[in-house]
Amino acid sequence: MLDYYYWPKELAYQVEQHHKIRFTLDRIRAIRRQSEADRDGTFIDGRATVSGLMLWLKEHPGFTEKPASVRKRPAPVVAVM
């Protein structure tokens, strides 16, 4: 069986169908951001495989996404003279 690359919305559906685990779209996007920051190759052009996502989760058991209130908070401006 071929392992297809899915966009985040499709990936959430496929994970629920194959592994009976429900992911929100925000959680998959947070995983994608972290994966792309690490440059580990799980997400290619914004898409990933179901097995790739499950492997990434096994390799990062302590992963927690930041709450939306923290993600949207602007960074403080520091003026250096």
d(CA 28, CA 25): 5
Domain-embedded: residue 25: yes
Number of separate domains in the chain: 1
Structural domain contains residue 78: no
Domain membership of residue 80 (yes or no) is no
Residue 65 maps to a domain: yes
Greatest distance between any 2 Cα atoms in the chain: 60
Query: Tens of pLDDT along 31-69?
Result: 999 898 889 889 999 999 999 999 999 998 888 776 655
pLDDT at residue 13 above 60? Answer: yes
pTM: 0.73
Please give the residue range of the domain that contains residue 22. Answer: 8-71
Residue 66 per-residue DSSP state: P
Residue 60 lies in a domain: yes
